[in-house]
A and B are shown apart, each in its own frame.
Chain A
Amino acid sequence: MNYVKAYVVDNIHVYRDVYHLILRTEIERLLPGHFIMIWIPEVEEVPMAPSLYRDGIMRITYKVVGETTGYMSRLDRGEKIYIRGPLGKPYKLNGYGRYLLIGGGVGVAPLIYSAHILSERGVEFTYVEGVPNSNYEMFIDEAISLGGEALLYTEDGSKGVKGYPTEYLKTNYRYYDYILACGPDEFNRAVYRLCREYGLNCQISFERIVKCGVGVCGSCVLEGTGLLVCLDGPVFNISTLYEYGYSP
């Protein structure tokens, strides 16, 4: 699996430490939930799950947390980076049923890409985004423009509904056939517990430290399960998680 060039078309500052990196590149069919490794020679290689990929244009929505993402935030138009992928297992999306897309933080990246695909297929979906406060709102407008229902949950109640997006799941789960989730670990654990309790068909995307990205180094193991985020995931159906003894 070799690298392909990706040219920076734009690097858009969204808020505080979050950016959209828009890349022009040519890689194979990359679906929502798939990830790529972004390689910046002499810096490092990091995993990212694009928030959109179509017609050779890829959008990476990323948060600056350290060296490589810091370097990414300083990339200018026309600069080149290198990527390999798609890697891992994507979300399984059907052409029917009602979908709930629920996430928090930059974890919503693969969810909004899923929303694009569902919208194209004419599938009904609700997009629920959880953020600390109104300044962090990310894809609500985009979800609405795709014809979905969209709800913002803020921790401080500064906009939308006050509280965590899991509150929405608790009261509305009966309306949905499929749940797609992605967020910080604590959020993922909560979604897992609720969906198990309600017997829902739910897929959750996880993050771990990905080093090889191809299932050999063991760095990305989901503790206690023997499942590899880079190979068996990053998207897991909760029935698989249960079968492998995931216990949040």
Chain B
Amino acid sequence: MSGVSLEIELSGIKLRNPFILASGFIDDDPSLLSRAWKAGFGALTTKSLTPKPREGYKPPIIAFTKAGYLNAVGLSNPGVDSLPRLLSKLPRESKVIVSIAGSTVDDFRYGAEKSNLDNVDIIELNLSCPHVKSMGMDIIHDISYSLDIIDAVVSTSDKPVYIKLGLTDTYLSLVSKALDKGVSGFTIMNTIKALAIDTASLKPILSNVYGGLSGPAIHPIAVRMVYEVYREYQVPIIGVGGVMDWEDVVEFIAAGASAVGVGSYLFLKPVESVKDLINDLMKFLEDNGYGNVVDLRGVAHKK
């Protein structure tokens, strides 16, 4: 092994590397989380959990497009009460981000209370799911409502709280206000509302008609948002969106991300393939004379 260090810190929590399993990817079952941890991720994000279990939408829940993927899973999840069971197969040293979703301030407060477990490291508020009414983009478009949720969670929990941002025109203003309320960091970004029509049947593919676009198509948008948030606030950022190879990873970190979320990369690939990203990042750092991944953070801003 080389002497390059991939270790990072997120709000005081040490991660063995900057790769984080993004919310919604094979993360709603104890054995899946355990396998993902063994695969080498630095931290795991759970599926967005709501106070009550949710069934989600009927298949098709996924559509493939030229530049990315659409999903309308419908926030299916086993409910936040299942958290102790969900995390039961993870070793002590594992790092866990619990994603919480809901449609009222109380839903989020409840989620935060239930996430107050020893093996939970960070709470991520999913305020930006694009395909479930009243549970996502409806929230983040309404800054004062978002701030009420943030208030409730920050006052309920001692854990660092991160906000998962979606694409809005006003996100920088939300970031600034959220920081004033005690938010510790941001996960950038969620999927973007989109639609795909099948050319064989000439029908919308997703049972929900609309879905969230992820993958290569959104990567440059996510890089822009990471870059802007870092430029203004230099806070911990998890860059998520279209990480398909090491170049996307390097871009996010150079733009200012401390860590990088891996999601659509896992379509049709076993979770162990994250090793390729880890090794490729290591090689990039080595080849370019970085002893430490942290030194790469934000270099795109240097004059």
Does residue B28 face the partner (Cβ distance < 8 Å to A)?
yes
Q: A227: shortest Cβ distance to chain B, in Å? A: 8
Q: Smallest CB-CB separation from A217: which chain B residue?
A: B73
Checking A41, A211, A225 against B31 with a beta-carbon cut-off of 8 angstroms, the contacting residue is A225
Inter-chain contacts of A1 with B (CB < 8 A): 64, 268
- CB neighbours (8 Å) of B64 from chain A are 1-2
Residues from chain B with Cβ under 8 Å of A80 in the complex = 201
Across the interface, do A217 and B198 meet the contact criterion of CB distance under 8 Å?
Answer: no
**B59 interface residue, CB < 8 Å from A?**
yes
How many of B's residues come within 8 Å of A, CB to CB? Answer: 35
* Smallest beta-carbon distance A38→chain B, Å: 10
- Contact code string B15-37 (vs A, CB < 8 Å = 1, else 0): 00000000011111101101100
Q: Which of B47, B59, B198 contacts A46 (CB 8 A)?
A: B59
Residue B198 contacts which of A3, A211, A228 (CB distance < 8 angstroms)? A3
B interface majority secondary structure: loop
Proximity string of chain B (37-63) to chain A, C-beta cutoff 8 Å, 1 when within and 0 when not: 000000000010000000010111110
Smallest CB-CB separation from A43: which chain B residue? B58
Scoring A residues 200 to 227 as 1 if CB is less than 8 Å from chain B, else 0, what string do you get?
Answer: 0000000000111111111101011110
Tell me if B267 counts as interface (CB < 8 A to partner A). Answer: yes
Nearest CB on A from B37, distance (A): 10
B14 at the binding interface (Cβ < 8 Å): no
- B25 near A216 (CB under 8 angstroms)? yes
Question: B270: which A residues are within 8 A, CB to CB?
Answer: 215, 231-232
Q: Which of B259-279 contact A (CB under 8 A)?
A: 263-264, 266-270
- When C-beta atoms are compared, the residue in chain B nearest to A210 turns out to be B59
Q: How far is the CA of A120 from the CA of B199 in the complex (A)?
A: 37
B94 at the interface (CB under 8 A from A): no
Smallest Cβ distance from B67 to chain A, in angstroms? 14
| Cα–Cα distance between A192 and B66 once the two chains are bound (Å) | 41
Contact at A218–B32, with CB atoms within 8 Å? yes
Q: Is the CB of A44 within 8 A of B269?
A: no
Q: Verify A216–B34 contact, CB threshold 8 A.
A: no
Q: How far is the CA of A1 from the CA of B200 in the complex (A)?
A: 13
Within the assembled complex, what's the spacing in Å between the Cα atoms of A212 and B61? 6
Contact with A along B182-219 (1 / 0, CB 8 A): 00000000000000001111010101000000000000
Chain A nearest CB: distance from B210 CB in Å?
15
Report A212 CB to chain B, min CB distance, Å: 5
A214 lies within 8 A of B62 (CB): yes
Q: Which of B27, B71, B200, B203 has the most CB of A within 10 A?
A: B200
CB of A4 closer than 8 Å to a CB of B: yes
Closest 9 A-B residue pairs measured CB to CB? A226-B35, A45-B59, A226-B31, A41-B203, A218-B26, A212-B62, A45-B60, A221-B29, A3-B200
Q: Can you spell out 24 A-B residue pairs with CB atoms less than 8 angstroms apart?
A: A1-B64, A3-B200, A4-B200, A37-B59, A41-B201, A41-B203, A44-B58, A44-B59, A44-B207, A45-B60, A211-B59, A212-B61, A212-B62, A212-B71, A212-B73, A214-B62, A215-B266, A215-B269, A216-B62, A217-B24, A221-B29, A221-B32, A226-B32, A232-B270
Given A82-B200, A218-B32, A226-B29; 20 other pairs, CB 8 A cutoff: A2-B64, A3-B200, A37-B60, A44-B59, A45-B60, A80-B201, A211-B56, A212-B61, A212-B71, A215-B268, A216-B24, A217-B26, A217-B73, A218-B25, A218-B29, A224-B31, A225-B31, A226-B35, A232-B270, A245-B31
